[in-house]
Protein backbone atom coordinates (compact mmCIF):
# COMPACT_ATOMS: atom_id res chain seq x y z
CA UNK A 1 0.00 0.00 0.00
CA UNK A 2 2.88 2.38 0.72
CA UNK A 3 4.29 1.64 -2.73
CA UNK A 4 0.85 2.34 -4.18
CA UNK A 5 0.73 5.79 -2.52
CA UNK A 6 4.13 6.65 -4.02
CA UNK A 7 2.90 6.11 -7.57
CA UNK A 8 2.64 9.24 -9.72
CA UNK A 9 -1.03 8.59 -10.62
CA UNK A 10 -2.13 7.81 -7.05
CA UNK A 11 -4.05 11.08 -6.49
CA UNK A 12 -5.78 11.08 -9.86
CA UNK A 13 -8.78 9.52 -8.11
CA UNK A 14 -8.97 11.59 -4.87
CA UNK A 15 -11.79 9.57 -3.31
CA UNK A 16 -10.04 6.25 -3.83
CA UNK A 17 -6.77 7.78 -2.64
CA UNK A 18 -8.36 8.98 0.59
CA UNK A 19 -9.81 5.52 1.26
CA UNK A 20 -6.38 3.95 0.73
CA UNK A 21 -4.77 6.51 3.05
CA UNK A 22 -7.36 5.82 5.78
CA UNK A 23 -6.75 2.09 5.55
CA UNK A 24 -2.97 2.59 5.46
CA UNK A 25 -3.07 4.79 8.56
CA UNK A 26 -5.09 2.17 10.43
CA UNK A 27 -2.72 -0.63 9.41
CA UNK A 28 0.38 1.41 10.32
CA UNK A 29 -1.07 2.03 13.78
CA UNK A 30 -1.72 -1.69 14.29
CA UNK A 31 1.69 -2.78 12.97
CA UNK A 32 3.49 -0.15 15.08
CA UNK A 33 2.34 -1.87 18.28
CA UNK A 34 3.94 -5.15 17.21
CA UNK A 35 7.16 -3.51 16.00
CA UNK A 36 7.54 -1.67 19.30
CA UNK A 37 6.88 -4.89 21.23
CA UNK A 38 9.47 -6.74 19.13
CA UNK A 39 12.08 -4.07 19.88
CA UNK A 40 11.36 -4.11 23.62
CA UNK A 41 11.52 -7.91 23.74
CA UNK A 42 14.90 -7.88 21.99
CA UNK A 43 16.25 -5.25 24.40
CA UNK A 44 14.94 -7.21 27.40
CA UNK A 45 16.60 -10.40 26.20
CA UNK A 46 19.89 -8.55 25.83
CA UNK A 47 19.58 -7.26 29.40
CA UNK A 48 18.81 -10.76 30.65
CA UNK A 49 21.91 -12.07 28.85
CA UNK A 50 24.15 -9.69 30.78
CA UNK A 51 23.33 -11.47 34.08
CA UNK A 52 23.87 -8.21 35.96
CA UNK A 53 22.26 -8.19 39.42
CA UNK A 54 21.96 -4.40 39.31
CA UNK A 55 19.65 -4.72 36.30
CA UNK A 56 17.39 -7.36 37.88
CA UNK A 57 14.85 -4.90 39.27
CA UNK A 58 14.62 -2.99 35.99
CA UNK A 59 14.28 -6.25 34.06
CA UNK A 60 11.48 -7.44 36.36
CA UNK A 61 9.48 -4.23 35.78
CA UNK A 62 9.99 -4.52 32.02
CA UNK A 63 8.88 -8.18 32.04
CA UNK A 64 5.70 -7.25 33.90
CA UNK A 65 5.00 -4.42 31.45
CA UNK A 66 5.58 -6.67 28.43
CA UNK A 67 3.33 -9.33 29.95
CA UNK A 68 0.46 -6.82 30.20
CA UNK A 69 0.97 -5.78 26.56
CA UNK A 70 1.01 -9.40 25.38
CA UNK A 71 -2.20 -10.11 27.32
CA UNK A 72 -3.85 -7.11 25.69
CA UNK A 73 -2.75 -8.20 22.23
CA UNK A 74 -3.96 -11.72 22.96
CA UNK A 75 -7.37 -10.27 23.87
CA UNK A 76 -7.46 -8.38 20.55
CA UNK A 77 -7.48 -11.69 18.73
CA UNK A 78 -11.10 -11.99 19.94
CA UNK A 79 -11.92 -9.26 17.41
CA UNK A 80 -11.98 -11.82 14.63
CA UNK A 81 -15.12 -10.64 12.85
CA UNK A 82 -14.87 -9.21 9.34
CA UNK A 83 -15.90 -5.71 10.46
CA UNK A 84 -14.65 -5.67 14.06
CA UNK A 85 -12.01 -3.04 13.33
CA UNK A 86 -14.53 -0.64 11.76
CA UNK A 87 -16.18 2.40 13.31
CA UNK A 88 -19.81 2.01 14.35
CA UNK A 89 -23.25 3.57 14.17
CA UNK A 90 -25.31 3.00 17.31
CA UNK A 91 -29.02 3.73 17.76
CA UNK A 92 -31.09 3.61 20.96
CA UNK A 93 -34.91 3.45 20.95
CA UNK A 94 -37.11 3.81 24.03
CA UNK A 95 -39.62 1.00 24.45
CA UNK A 96 -43.19 1.22 25.68
CA UNK A 97 -43.59 3.01 28.98
CA UNK A 98 -43.63 6.73 28.24
CA UNK A 99 -41.38 8.99 30.28
CA UNK A 100 -39.82 6.15 32.29
CA UNK A 101 -38.65 4.34 29.14
CA UNK A 102 -37.46 7.58 27.54
CA UNK A 103 -35.40 8.38 30.62
CA UNK A 104 -33.91 4.87 30.44
CA UNK A 105 -32.96 5.44 26.79
CA UNK A 106 -31.08 8.60 27.78
CA UNK A 107 -29.33 6.76 30.62
CA UNK A 108 -28.12 4.18 28.09
CA UNK A 109 -26.97 6.95 25.76
CA UNK A 110 -24.90 8.47 28.57
CA UNK A 111 -23.51 5.02 29.46
CA UNK A 112 -22.26 4.44 25.91
CA UNK A 113 -20.79 7.95 25.64
CA UNK A 114 -18.92 7.58 28.94
CA UNK A 115 -17.58 4.17 27.85
CA UNK A 116 -16.41 5.61 24.50
CA UNK A 117 -14.74 8.59 26.18
CA UNK A 118 -12.85 6.26 28.54
CA UNK A 119 -11.49 4.47 25.45
CA UNK A 120 -10.56 7.77 23.78
CA UNK A 121 -13.13 7.34 21.05
CA UNK A 122 -14.93 10.15 19.24
CA UNK A 123 -18.72 10.35 19.54
CA UNK A 124 -21.07 12.45 17.41
CA UNK A 125 -24.81 12.55 18.05
CA UNK A 126 -26.15 12.42 14.50
CA UNK A 127 -29.83 12.57 15.38
CA UNK A 128 -31.91 12.75 18.52
CA UNK A 129 -35.62 12.85 19.30
CA UNK A 130 -36.31 14.35 22.77
CA UNK A 131 -38.82 12.80 25.12
CA UNK A 132 -42.19 14.37 25.89
CA UNK A 133 -41.26 15.27 29.48
CA UNK A 134 -37.76 13.89 30.02
CA UNK A 135 -35.20 11.64 28.38
CA UNK A 136 -35.15 10.78 24.68
CA UNK A 137 -37.36 8.75 22.37
CA UNK A 138 -34.44 7.78 20.18
CA UNK A 139 -30.88 8.71 19.29
CA UNK A 140 -28.35 7.84 16.62
CA UNK A 141 -24.61 8.18 17.32
CA UNK A 142 -21.49 7.85 15.19
CA UNK A 143 -18.56 6.40 17.18
CA UNK A 144 -15.00 6.33 15.84
CA UNK A 145 -11.90 4.66 17.24
CA UNK A 146 -10.05 1.33 17.38
CA UNK A 147 -12.21 -1.81 17.03
CA UNK A 148 -15.37 0.15 17.81
CA UNK A 149 -17.78 -2.27 16.15
CA UNK A 150 -15.92 -5.22 17.65
CA UNK A 151 -16.59 -3.83 21.12
CA UNK A 152 -20.09 -2.48 20.62
CA UNK A 153 -21.67 -5.43 18.82
CA UNK A 154 -22.13 -6.94 22.29
CA UNK A 155 -24.67 -4.20 23.08
CA UNK A 156 -27.12 -5.01 20.26
CA UNK A 157 -30.47 -6.03 21.70
CA UNK A 158 -32.98 -5.11 24.41
CA UNK A 159 -31.82 -3.67 27.73
CA UNK A 160 -34.15 -3.87 30.75
CA UNK A 161 -34.22 -1.54 33.77
CA UNK A 162 -35.97 -2.31 37.07
CA UNK A 163 -36.18 0.55 39.59
CA UNK A 164 -38.42 2.74 41.70
CA UNK A 165 -39.52 5.31 39.15
CA UNK A 166 -38.73 8.95 40.01
CA UNK A 167 -41.67 9.86 37.77
CA UNK A 168 -44.22 7.86 39.78
CA UNK A 169 -45.80 9.84 42.61
CA UNK A 170 -46.65 6.55 44.36
CA UNK A 171 -43.00 5.40 44.23
CA UNK A 172 -43.85 2.11 42.59
CA UNK A 173 -41.39 -0.21 40.95
CA UNK A 174 -41.27 0.00 37.15
CA UNK A 175 -39.72 -2.16 34.46
CA UNK A 176 -38.56 -0.30 31.36
CA UNK A 177 -37.09 -1.44 28.07
CA UNK A 178 -34.89 0.18 25.45
CA UNK A 179 -33.44 -1.29 22.30
CA UNK A 180 -29.91 -0.79 20.96
CA UNK A 181 -28.96 -1.31 17.33
CA UNK A 182 -25.35 -1.34 16.11
CA UNK A 183 -24.00 -1.34 12.56
CA UNK A 184 -20.43 -1.28 11.26
CA UNK A 185 -19.78 2.10 9.62
CA UNK A 186 -18.69 0.76 6.23
CA UNK A 187 -20.72 3.02 3.92
CA UNK A 188 -17.55 4.53 2.42
CA UNK A 189 -16.03 1.12 1.72
CA UNK A 190 -18.97 -0.56 -0.02
CA UNK A 191 -20.87 -0.11 -3.24
CA UNK A 192 -24.66 -0.08 -2.80
CA UNK A 193 -26.96 1.01 -5.59
CA UNK A 194 -29.99 2.92 -4.30
CA UNK A 195 -32.72 3.87 -6.77
CA UNK A 196 -33.93 7.42 -6.12
CA UNK A 197 -37.49 6.20 -6.86
CA UNK A 198 -37.22 4.04 -3.73
CA UNK A 199 -36.61 7.07 -1.50
CA UNK A 200 -38.98 9.52 0.15
CA UNK A 201 -37.07 12.57 1.38
CA UNK A 202 -38.65 14.96 3.90
CA UNK A 203 -37.14 18.21 5.11
CA UNK A 204 -38.00 19.78 8.45
CA UNK A 205 -36.68 22.16 11.07
CA UNK A 206 -34.11 20.84 13.48
CA UNK A 207 -35.41 20.33 17.01
CA UNK A 208 -33.62 20.41 20.33
CA UNK A 209 -32.33 22.86 22.88
CA UNK A 210 -30.87 25.15 20.24
CA UNK A 211 -27.38 26.45 19.79
CA UNK A 212 -25.25 27.95 17.06
CA UNK A 213 -25.55 24.92 14.78
CA UNK A 214 -29.35 24.55 14.98
CA UNK A 215 -30.90 26.47 12.12
CA UNK A 216 -34.35 28.05 12.03
CA UNK A 217 -34.92 27.01 8.43
CA UNK A 218 -35.49 23.45 7.19
CA UNK A 219 -32.00 21.94 7.49
CA UNK A 220 -32.97 18.58 9.01
CA UNK A 221 -33.56 15.62 6.70
CA UNK A 222 -35.54 12.38 6.91
CA UNK A 223 -35.05 9.64 4.32
CA UNK A 224 -37.41 6.67 4.04
CA UNK A 225 -36.30 3.65 2.01
CA UNK A 226 -39.68 2.46 0.74
CA UNK A 227 -38.84 -1.20 -0.09
CA UNK A 228 -37.49 -1.96 3.40
CA UNK A 229 -39.26 0.70 5.49
CA UNK A 230 -35.92 1.87 6.94
CA UNK A 231 -36.14 5.48 8.12
CA UNK A 232 -33.04 7.59 8.71
CA UNK A 233 -32.98 11.17 9.94
CA UNK A 234 -30.15 13.61 10.56
CA UNK A 235 -30.31 17.14 11.97
CA UNK A 236 -27.02 17.86 13.72
CA UNK A 237 -24.91 18.91 10.73
CA UNK A 238 -24.54 22.54 9.70
CA UNK A 239 -26.50 22.46 6.45
CA UNK A 240 -29.21 20.58 4.57
CA UNK A 241 -26.64 19.15 2.16
CA UNK A 242 -24.43 17.85 4.99
CA UNK A 243 -27.42 16.33 6.77
CA UNK A 244 -28.53 14.61 3.57
CA UNK A 245 -25.04 13.23 2.91
CA UNK A 246 -24.84 11.87 6.45
CA UNK A 247 -28.34 10.38 6.23
CA UNK A 248 -27.48 8.62 2.96
CA UNK A 249 -24.28 7.27 4.50
CA UNK A 250 -26.26 5.84 7.43
CA UNK A 251 -28.91 4.39 5.10
CA UNK A 252 -26.23 2.59 3.10
CA UNK A 253 -24.73 1.14 6.28
CA UNK A 254 -28.14 -0.10 7.44
CA UNK A 255 -29.00 -1.64 4.06
CA UNK A 256 -25.63 -3.37 3.98
CA UNK A 257 -26.09 -4.70 7.53
CA UNK A 258 -29.65 -5.84 6.73
CA UNK A 259 -28.43 -7.91 3.79
CA UNK A 260 -25.53 -9.30 5.80
CA UNK A 261 -27.84 -10.37 8.65
CA UNK A 262 -30.25 -11.99 6.16
CA UNK A 263 -27.38 -14.09 4.87
CA UNK A 264 -26.31 -14.96 8.42
CA UNK A 265 -29.89 -15.96 9.32
CA UNK A 266 -30.18 -18.15 6.24
CA UNK A 267 -26.86 -19.83 7.06
CA UNK A 268 -28.04 -20.43 10.64
CA UNK A 269 -31.31 -21.93 9.35
CA UNK A 270 -29.42 -24.28 7.03
CA UNK A 271 -27.18 -25.28 9.93
CA UNK A 272 -30.22 -25.92 12.14
CA UNK A 273 -29.41 -23.17 14.64
CA UNK A 274 -31.86 -20.81 16.32
CA UNK A 275 -31.99 -17.31 14.87
CA UNK A 276 -31.96 -14.44 17.39
CA UNK A 277 -35.41 -12.86 17.49
CA UNK A 278 -34.02 -9.47 18.59
CA UNK A 279 -36.68 -7.16 20.04
CA UNK A 280 -38.53 -8.69 22.96
CA UNK A 281 -35.65 -10.78 24.28
CA UNK A 282 -33.61 -8.71 26.71
CA UNK A 283 -29.90 -9.34 26.59
CA UNK A 284 -29.16 -7.61 29.89
CA UNK A 285 -31.03 -6.55 33.02
CA UNK A 286 -30.14 -3.59 35.24
CA UNK A 287 -31.83 -3.94 38.62
CA UNK A 288 -31.80 -1.04 41.10
CA UNK A 289 -34.62 -2.32 43.35
CA UNK A 290 -35.15 -4.42 45.47
CA UNK A 291 -31.44 -5.28 45.07
CA UNK A 292 -28.64 -4.00 42.85
CA UNK A 293 -27.39 -6.17 40.04
CA UNK A 294 -26.50 -6.01 36.35
CA UNK A 295 -26.68 -9.39 34.64
CA UNK A 296 -26.10 -10.38 31.03
CA UNK A 297 -28.48 -13.19 30.14
CA UNK A 298 -26.32 -14.52 27.30
CA UNK A 299 -23.10 -15.02 29.26
CA UNK A 300 -24.33 -14.92 32.90
CA UNK A 301 -21.67 -12.27 33.59
CA UNK A 302 -22.91 -10.06 36.43
CA UNK A 303 -21.88 -7.36 38.88
CA UNK A 304 -23.44 -5.61 41.84
CA UNK A 305 -21.83 -2.26 40.99
CA UNK A 306 -24.76 -0.99 38.91
CA UNK A 307 -23.80 2.67 39.02
CA UNK A 308 -20.29 1.97 37.72
CA UNK A 309 -21.82 0.13 34.75
CA UNK A 310 -24.23 2.99 34.09
CA UNK A 311 -21.18 5.27 34.21
CA UNK A 312 -19.56 3.35 31.37
CA UNK A 313 -17.79 0.39 33.03
CA UNK A 314 -18.83 -2.07 30.31
CA UNK A 315 -15.56 -3.82 29.47
CA UNK A 316 -16.29 -6.87 31.63
CA UNK A 317 -19.61 -7.50 29.87
CA UNK A 318 -18.11 -6.90 26.44
CA UNK A 319 -15.15 -9.21 27.06
CA UNK A 320 -17.45 -11.94 28.39
CA UNK A 321 -19.59 -11.63 25.26
CA UNK A 322 -16.58 -11.87 22.92
CA UNK A 323 -15.30 -14.98 24.69
CA UNK A 324 -18.79 -16.48 24.77
CA UNK A 325 -19.18 -15.84 21.02
CA UNK A 326 -16.04 -17.86 20.37
CA UNK A 327 -17.11 -20.67 22.68
CA UNK A 328 -14.62 -19.84 25.42
CA UNK A 329 -17.25 -19.71 28.16
CA UNK A 330 -19.04 -22.78 29.46
Mean pLDDT, consecutive 10-residue stretches, the chain (330 aa), reads 90 86 86 92 88 82 92 86 88 88 96 96 91 91 92 94 88 90 77 85 70 55 91 83 87 85 63 40 91 95 96 96 76
Q: What is the pLDDT of residue 208?
A: 55
Peptide bond just before 204 cis, omega within 30 deg: no
Give dist(CA 291, CA 311) in Å, integer. 18
Domain total for the chain? 3
**φ/ψ (deg, to 5) at 89:** -110, 130
Both 167 and 291 in one domain: the answer is yes
Both 263 and 301 in one domain: the answer is no
Both 98 and 232 in one domain: the answer is no
What is the CB neighbour count within 10 angstroms for residue 246? 23
Both 168 and 286 in one domain: the answer is yes
Would you state the torsion angle of the CA atoms of residues 49, 50, 54, 57, taken in this order, to the nearest 10 degrees?
-20
What is the CB neighbour count within 10 angstroms for residue 202? 12
Q: Which of 76, 98, 125 is the last residue before a domain boundary?
A: 76
Indicate whether 29 belongs to any domain.
Answer: yes
Both 202 and 228 in one domain: the answer is yes
Q: Which of 23, 50, 76 is the last residue before a domain boundary?
A: 76
* Domain harbouring 239, CATH code: 3.30.160.20
Indicate whether 83 belongs to any domain.
Answer: no
CB within 8 Å of 176: residues ≥ 6 apart: 95, 97, 100, 101, 103, 104, 160, 161, 163
Q: What is the pLDDT of residue 54?
A: 79
Both 65 and 26 in one domain: the answer is yes
**CA-CA distances (angstroms) from residue 8 to 12, 15, 17?**
9, 16, 12
CA angle 165, 158, 121 (to 5 degrees): 95
Q: What is the pLDDT of residue 277?
A: 32
Q: What is the pLDDT of residue 252?
A: 87
Both 11 and 65 in one domain: the answer is yes
Q: What is the pLDDT of residue 132?
A: 86
Q: In terms of residue numbers, what domain contains 35?
A: 2-76
Indicate whether 330 belongs to any domain.
Answer: no
Indicate whether 191 belongs to any domain.
Answer: no
Both 110 and 148 in one domain: the answer is yes
Indicate whether 209 belongs to any domain.
Answer: yes
Q: Which of 76, 110, 131 is the last residue before a domain boundary?
A: 76
Give the sheet arrangement for strand 136-144, strand by strand: 122-130, 136-144, 88-94, 173-184, 157-164, 282-287, 293-296, 302-303
Both 245 and 171 in one domain: the answer is no
Indicate whether 190 belongs to any domain.
Answer: no
* Domain harbouring 302, CATH code: 3.30.70.1660
Both 102 and 60 in one domain: the answer is no
**Given phi > 0 = left and psi -120 to 50 = alpha, else beta, which region is 229?**
left
Q: What is the pLDDT of residue 161?
A: 94
Both 36 and 124 in one domain: the answer is no
Give dist(CA 314, CA 39) in Å, integer. 33
Both 116 and 248 in one domain: the answer is no
Indicate whether 81 belongs to any domain.
Answer: no
Amino acid sequence: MEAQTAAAEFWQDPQQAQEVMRELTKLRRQVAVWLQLDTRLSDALELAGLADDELAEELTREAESLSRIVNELEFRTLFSGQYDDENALLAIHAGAGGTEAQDWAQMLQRMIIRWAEAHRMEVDIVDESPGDEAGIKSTLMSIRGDYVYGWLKSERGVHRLVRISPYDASSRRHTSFAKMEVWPDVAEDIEIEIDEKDLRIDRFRASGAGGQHVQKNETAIRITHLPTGIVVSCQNQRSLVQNQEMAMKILKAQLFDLERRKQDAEMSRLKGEDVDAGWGNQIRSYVLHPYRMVKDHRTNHETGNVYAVLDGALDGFMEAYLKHSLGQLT
